[in-house]
Amino acid sequence: MKASPRQQLLLLDLQDLDTGIARLRRRRQTLPERAELDALASEIAEARERFMEAQRDLDTQRAEIERIEADVRLVRQRRERDEQLIAVSTSSKEAQALQQELDTLARRLSDLEDRELEVMEIQETAQAAFDEAERVLSGVDGRRAAIQAKIDDAEAAIDRDLAAQTEERAGLAAEVQRDLLDLYEELRGRIGIGAARLRGNVSEASNMSLAPAELGDILAAAPDELVFCPGTGAILVRAAE
């Protein structure tokens, strides 16, 4: 295949852009903050598990207090009813039965109030554990959010550079003759590099010196004749230093 020296030089500019675009994409995928976020994942999971456990425990104690308070209300209502009945009762037998029930209700109420105090103490401990778990989770989430914000900012900056270089590449590619561009793209897709400069006797595609015979054949080729790196197969552009 033949291509003018100018067309071949365009390939070097195209390769520089492709290398830059690939570098930006790698940088986007390997931002150091991503490793920080990954390292924080287990800490976040542990903090959330502790928070949920503390919340379940606190909810259990609150539900127990609500149950006790409901029982207390029922006992007090029953006691008020019995007190009203005994006040108007004209039967000593009925009054005696009501008094026995009032005594039972008093013991029941005392037991419930004692139990309520015990559960309130347990709830106080559960509340403290919940508050601490919430504080820890909030701190970890705050660190995660800060790291994610750094990632978002870095990605946005890289995306802007990618968009600019991609646009520049599209304009440059439009200047390259079709068959030459197709060959360049095929080589780049297969070996990772489409074109490189011959600097002295060194191929920048392989970063190795060419053998005298290889260099002689390349330099003897016509300027518009495509030559290739013996080590990689990339298009080798003979550009003036």
- Residue 241: predicted pLDDT: 56
Domains held by the chain: number: 2
- Residue 92: predicted pLDDT: 82
Report pLDDT digits (tens) over 70-119: 999 999 999 999 888 888 777 888 888 888 998 999 999 999 999 999 99
Co-location of 197 and 165 in the same domain: no
- Residue 3: predicted pLDDT: 95
Co-location of 99 and 195 in the same domain: no
Q: In percent, how much of the chain has pLDDT > 70?
A: 99
Co-location of 195 and 97 in the same domain: no
Report pLDDT digits (tens) over 147-186: 999 999 999 999 999 999 999 999 999 999 999 999 999 9
Report pLDDT digits (tens) over 51-73: 999 999 999 999 999 999 999 99
Residue 222 has pLDDT above 60, yes or no: yes
Confidence of residue 194 (pLDDT cuts 50, 70, 90): very high
Q: Find tokens 């105090």 and name the residue.
A: 117
Of 173, 203, 229, the position where a domain reaches its end is 173
> For the domain that residue 129 is a member of, what is the CATH number?
1.10.287.1490
Co-location of 101 and 53 in the same domain: yes
What would the mean pLDDT of 115-131 be, rounded to a whole number? 95
Co-location of 224 and 192 in the same domain: yes
Residue scoring higher pLDDT (202 or 83): 202
Instruction: Tell me which residue range forms the domain holding 148.
Output: 31-173
Co-location of 41 and 127 in the same domain: yes
Of 149, 173, 197, the position where a domain reaches its end is 173
Co-location of 84 and 188 in the same domain: no
What would the mean pLDDT of 192-220 be, rounded to a whole number? 95
- Residue 240: predicted pLDDT: 67
Of 173, 197, 228, the position where a domain reaches its end is 173
Co-location of 168 and 181 in the same domain: no
